[in-house]
Amino acid sequence: MTVPADRAIVDSSPPAGAPSSRADAVELPASKTSGQENFPVGSWLLPKRHRPHIATFYRFARAADDIGDDPALPTAEKLARLDALEAGLLHGGPEAAARMRASIAATGVGLVDCRDLLVAFRRDSENRSCRSWDDLIDYCRYSANPVGRYLLRLHGQAESTFPAGDALCTVLQILNHLQDCGDDWRKLHRIYVPIDWIDAAGGIDRFFSPDQASLRRPVLDRCLDLVDAMLDTASTLPGQLTSRPLAAEVSVMLWLARRLAGRLRQGDPILARVALSKPDFACALRPGLSVMAFGARPLDDAALVRMAVFRAKSSFASGMRILPADGRRAIYAVYGFCRQVDDIADSGAAPAEKTADLHAWRDRLDRIFAGPQGANGGGDPLDRELIWAIRRFDLPRAEFDGMLDGMTIDAAAEVRIADRAGLAHYARCVAGTVGVMAVKIFGCPDRASTAFAVAQGEALQLTNILRDVDEDAGLGRLYLPESWLREAGIPTDAPIPTIVADPRIAQVCARLAAEIQPLYAALPGLMPAGTEKRMKAALIMQHSYRRIFEMLQARGYADRSVRPRLSKREKIGILLSVLLK
């Protein structure tokens, strides 16, 4: 799609003569070339006729970016040079602007996007950091999204592709910011990681201190969690494009973005640069070449939710995959909901912010349960998939609310459980709710199946708690009942890590194990007769967790340094033992 306003303003003839001496004073030597960028800039996958224009656009953006980032130039001089670049788009001047002006005249696109870029670079010139996530997203609106919109316009794509394109460009920009956060702070005294998150984690000085990796990690991961969600939206872009070469280029960038996000989860950009390798770029060609050869497959809502489930690498994955198509689609939607609210509770946000986000999910559920009309068709793929699942399997609102109740407990600054009844209530909220919805999806909506689901949910959740005592303590959570701790002689007014470090905690863990043992023993008798085939997914989870419980029992609770895990061989064995019965 072209923008007529671009043609209307720009003279159709290219500028004549050499730049003036004033134009020479505007641009700086380029800090890098397109080949040194993290992601492809006008690669050979794109049509040859567009590449010169893309190179011209890149040069304009690079010239403006270098001005905004030059530490030697005073702010007023930076702003004056950026003004000269903008004027050159209309009337001639600096060479980068003059060339872009000629490109705009030839193609009819680019003026709006160049002007938007200059908004971001003026902010950089004033050394404005991002106070919040919303500030960062707004900055990307001007610093990154115009690049994607320019490419989409140049390739004649509809404006309906802009949201997915914006998501991709925002992701690429944020990943670059995370890569460079140390250098941005040291060299420019500029921060593109939300400062309010940094302040909540311990402050700027500690965040950028090399020896504070554990403080930094939750903030970086919180950014990356949101990046992953935006990548799901961006993944729909290739399937929306009518230009196969552009779809191929986008597919390459998506692959590289996911690889870099994964690297940033493993590495610390303050300690060492986290970057893509040459083999990464080689591997990224595969999806691009595939799209060039066969075209891009459009992604529907179900595919997007399924992608999010697979990315989470859930221990429930094998059980979910064996369900019939409708059941699988519904359980993915339920899991997507559970994953999102669990991520809120586990994030590095302040407790008040977590609680507010969970409350927002209750409002979202109001719209979802009102159906497509109440949700305006569902603005999010997960919303639309939940609407479908709720209607298809008559999923009760109370179970969704119960999960939110459990996540609200976890969202507190510190979690402590008063007694065994409180522990049962917590397990019912975070595990029983999922079980009740799952058995309905399995085709077992009767009361006996519901009772079985609640009992199994408690057994599985208590096993999780027993396995993760030390890990939970590091997060400020202690699910062992305080009444049991006092009976064991452990002071409950001590900090949670101190409580867990007390040798007497082993006998409390053993007491919880004694509660779990009969739960597993009772489960076979609680499963209604004749439901075994429909309950195979539940049985896979039951056998998997029971095996983990047996490993915990064999290990003991005094030395908890070894965290039991099922090997791939054990997982396959359990899967086959259930499926072949």
At 45-85, the pLDDT tens digits run 999 999 999 999 999 999 999 999 999 999 999 999 999 99
Reply yes or no on whether the pLDDT at 497 is more than 90.
Answer: yes
Instruction: Output the pLDDT for position 38.
Output: 58
Residue, of 270 and 38, whose pLDDT is higher:
270
Whole-angstrom distance, CA of residue 21 vs CA of residue 42 = 31
Q: What is the mean pLDDT of residues 532-540?
A: 91
Q: What is the mean pLDDT of residues 477-504?
A: 97
Q: Amino acid identity of 576?
A: L
Instruction: Output the pLDDT for position 418.
Output: 97
Whole-angstrom distance, CA of residue 404 vs CA of residue 423 = 16
Reply yes or no on whether the pLDDT at 224 is more than 80.
Answer: yes
Instruction: Output the pLDDT for position 482.
Output: 98
Instruction: Output the pLDDT for position 69.
Output: 92
Whole-angstrom distance, CA of residue 146 vs CA of residue 42 = 15
Reply yes or no on whether the pLDDT at 318 is more than 90.
Answer: no
Q: What is the mean pLDDT of residues 161-180?
A: 96
Share the mean pLDDT of the chain: 90
Q: Are 182 and 270 in contact (CB under 8 A)?
A: yes
Instruction: Output the pLDDT for position 196.
Output: 94
Residue 416: strand pairing partners = 478
Reply yes or no on whether the pLDDT at 490 is more than 90.
Answer: yes
Phi-psi region of 476 (alpha: psi -120 to 50; beta: other; left: phi over 0): left
Reply yes or no on whether the pLDDT at 13 is more than 50.
Answer: no
Confidence grade of residue 235 (pLDDT, cut at 50, 70, 90): very high
The CA–CA distances, whole Å, from 495 to 20, 31, 195, 352 equal: 70, 51, 28, 21
Q: What is the mean pLDDT of residues 298-307?
A: 89
Whole-angstrom distance, CA of residue 186 vs CA of residue 196 = 19
- pLDDT tens, 548-564? 999 999 999 999 999 99
Angle (CA) 227 233 238, round 5°: 120
Q: At what angle do helices 381-393 and 301-312 cross, to 10 degrees?
A: 100
Q: How many CB atoms lie within 10 A of CB 84?
A: 18
Q: What is the mean pLDDT of residues 457-461?
A: 97
Residue 581 exposed, middle or buried by CB count within 10 Å (0-12, 13-18, 19+)? exposed
Whole-angstrom distance, CA of residue 419 vs CA of residue 485 = 10
Kind and range of the H or E run holding 6: helix 4-9
Handedness of CA 372, 375, 376, 381 (dihedral sign): negative
Q: How many CB atoms lie within 10 A of CB 281?
A: 17
pTM listed for this prediction: 0.82
State the residue for tokens 């709006």: 112
The CA–CA distances, whole Å, from 78 to 114, 124, 196, 310 equal: 17, 9, 28, 47
Q: Are 381 and 404 in contact (CB under 8 A)?
A: no
Q: Amino acid identity of 435?
A: G
Give the tokens for residue 266: 């493993």
Contacts of 115 (CB under 8 A, 6+ apart): 86, 89
Instruction: Output the pLDDT for position 373.
Output: 63
- pLDDT tens, 195-223? 999 999 999 999 999 999 999 999 999 99
Confidence grade of residue 317 (pLDDT, cut at 50, 70, 90): low
Total residues found in the chain within this entry: 581
Instruction: Output the pLDDT for position 48.
Output: 94
Whole-angstrom distance, CA of residue 427 vs CA of residue 377 = 33
Instruction: Output the pLDDT for position 316.
Output: 62
pLDDT over 90 for what percent of the chain?
Answer: 81
Instruction: Output the pLDDT for position 33.
Output: 57
Residue 477: strand pairing partners = 415
Instruction: Output the pLDDT for position 31.
Output: 63
Reply yes or no on whether the pLDDT at 11 is more than 60.
Answer: no
Whole-angstrom distance, CA of residue 407 vs CA of residue 351 = 11
Q: Are 190 and 124 in contact (CB under 8 A)?
A: yes
Whole-angstrom distance, CA of residue 82 vs CA of residue 513 = 67
The CA–CA distances, whole Å, from 450 to 138, 437, 526 equal: 47, 9, 10
Greatest CA separation for the chain: 90
